[in-house]
Structure 1
Amino acid sequence: MSDTPSELLRLASADNFRDVAGVGAGYPTTDGGRVRRGVCYRSNELQLHEADVAAIADLGIQVIHDLRSTLEIEAHPDVPVPGARWQQLDVSGIPTEMIEILPDTAAAERVMLDVYESFVRSEQARTSYAALLTCLATDDLPQLFHCTAGKDRTGWAAALLLEVAGVDRATILEDYLLTNEVSSITRTKYLALIEEHLGAEKMAVYEPTLVVKEAYLQMAYDAVAADHGSVAGYLRDGLGLSDDVLGRLRERLRG
């Protein structure tokens, strides 16, 4: 294991890599506890430089959960991390066919809202999130999960973990929105590609798909409330997680 504090670990080739627990002593919980550092990590896709592979390996990562589709993985496969077992848990992200025909920013935002609603209501998404949380509760630690940008599918997973740990909703939102700050280099890269291939006038149209917004996360919470009454109900009935699994996960997440 590395002696470098993980709050200082910024990866040049995966700029949205971070500890789910936050920095310092970890996010506070509503009952006076803290989220434990070094248990769960989140990231964008692992197109890693050699030095970043070594940095992740030094953290002792045991399992890497890839939330991307098979097509995404085939286009940009993860660089293997020594000592880590890799598994795919497909959660459908932003539909490529819808992205290609976006007429304006309102349409882009509608797509994003639909995507977050699907995290809660899609059977495939529920199956994958249930498998992720179960593995985080029962398999060897530490573990890492990621999607392409590390902001939407990964962002919802991180929000659920912080909910289980007992973090207040305002802090969860703050953590979710950090993506816009820490992944600005990646966002700039994609905007440049849009300008090059589609024209400068399309940059503003596509910008809502490259960021996270409070309204997106709220859409997932609204679907949870409508279908299950609460996050606890969603975890129990929507994801089918037992009290034992949730208890073990909470115990692991809390310092």
Structure 2
Amino acid sequence: MSRHGSRIAGSLLVTSGVLLAGFSGAGLAQADPVVPPALAEQLNSGLGSVGAGKTAPDAPRMASIPNFRDVAGTGAGYAGAHGKNLNKGVFYRADAIVPKGDDVATLAGLKLAAVYDLRSDQEVHDKADIVPAGAEYVRIPILSGNINDMVGKIKSPDDARRMMQEMNQAFVTGAAEKAGFAQLLTGLANTKGPAVYHCTAGKDRTGWTSMLLQSIAGASNETIMSDYLLTNEYNKEWAAKTRAYIASTQGEQVALLFEPLLGVEASYLQAGLDKLKADYGTVDKYLTDGLGLDQATLGKLKAKLLR
């Protein structure tokens, strides 16, 4: 592979991270954090809830941030624990925050309190965020390992798939990854207002975070998987353009080689969840024993996530 091709592949890899239906122990129903009503009311003030029985608007679609969406879903919000729906307008997930044209005003209208950037130094250098006024910008790089070494092992599409599976397993085993997710979830729990977290394509590091938040809220395995796979729809145009660029500059064989890096497959996150189940048993144990989160932090998150 040429040096240029390796650079393209490395860029694709760091853009890439769920549950398969039937995975047991995904939710936290057996260990619900208890939040005093007064604290819950304080946490929800100024967030997406617009009054009892009402929901916030759906997240806007933005051409320049195509994978921008609400963790809570659309419409009434995903079904969560205790017969409640997830609270829209609180946590957003996205790809790189680079609004253009009308999207600048659209993003500003969400009145975000914080933007959490999960990308590496090189990713940020290549495509720096344009942070809306009033939002705090927080960098939490979540990725370890030598990207060039990983890319050099790709000799077939299946190698690319295995690489993505290994990346998701590292979300469970990697010290740097676990520390990053712990910092992110703690930050989201304590942010005073709506927040967005993102990586470059908004699918792998962002996808794992979304799985954790939706699990905390008690969303079903099927809901979490369906939401995870929506990346393939939201990023469809970006993926097609990126593949076309690779084919035109490196050839069709290289495009086929790296095509699995352009989207998500159930097996990617499932590999991480299989490792999570083997090491911790449940998502709840991963959050507490693996990430070191306490019940107060989980309680804050749950109070924000459910209405």
Contact 1:6 1:19 in 2 (8 A): no
Aligned length in residues: 254
Question: What is the CA-CA distance between 1:71 and the residue it aligns to?
Answer: 1.1
Amino acid at match of 2:253: E
Question: What is the CA-CA distance between 1:79 and the residue it aligns to?
Answer: 1.3
The separation in 2 between residues aligned to 1:198 and 1:164, in whole angstroms, is 43
The separation in 2 between residues aligned to 1:187 and 1:56, in whole angstroms, is 23
Contact 1:61 1:141 in 2 (8 A): yes
User: Structure 1 residues 99 and 48, CA, compared in 2 at 3 Å: closer, same or farther?
Assistant: farther
1:36 aligns with 2:87: yes
Instruction: Map 1:22-171 onto structure 2 (within 5 A).
Output: 22-92=73-143, 96-97=147-148, 98-99=150-151, 102-171=154-223
For 1:17, the equivalent position in structure 2 comes to: 68
Percent identity, please. 38
Indicate the SS of the match to 1:149: coil
Question: What is the CA-CA distance between 1:130 and the residue it aligns to?
Answer: 0.6
Which segment is superposed worse, 85-94 or 119-128? Answer: 85-94
Contact 2:153 2:159 in 1 (8 A): no
Indicate the SS of the match to 2:230: helix
Indicate the SS of the match to 2:216: helix
Question: What is the CA-CA distance between 1:203 and the residue it aligns to?
Answer: 1.6
The separation in 2 between residues aligned to 1:127 and 1:184, in whole angstroms, is 31
The separation in 2 between residues aligned to 1:61 and 1:141, in whole angstroms, is 7
Question: What is the CA-CA distance between 1:99 and the residue it aligns to?
Answer: 2.8
Amino acid at match of 1:17: F
The alignment yields a C-alpha RMSD, in angstroms, of 1.9
Q: For structure 1, which runs of at least 5 residues remain unmatched after alignment?
A: none
| Greater relative contact order (CA < 8 Å, ≥ 6 in sequence) | 2
Which segment is superposed worse, 218-227 or 156-165? Answer: 218-227
The separation in 2 between residues aligned to 1:236 and 1:101, in whole angstroms, is 34
User: Structure 1 residues 147 and 234, CA, compared in 2 at 3 Å: closer, same or farther?
Assistant: same
Q: Normalised by the size of structure 1, how large is the TM-score? A: 0.95
Q: Which residue of 272, 281, 288 corresponds with 1:229?
A: 281
Contact 1:64 1:85 in 2 (8 A): yes
Q: For structure 2, which runs of at least 5 residues remain unmatched after alignment?
A: 1-45, 51-55
Question: What is the CA-CA distance between 1:241 and the residue it aligns to?
Answer: 0.3
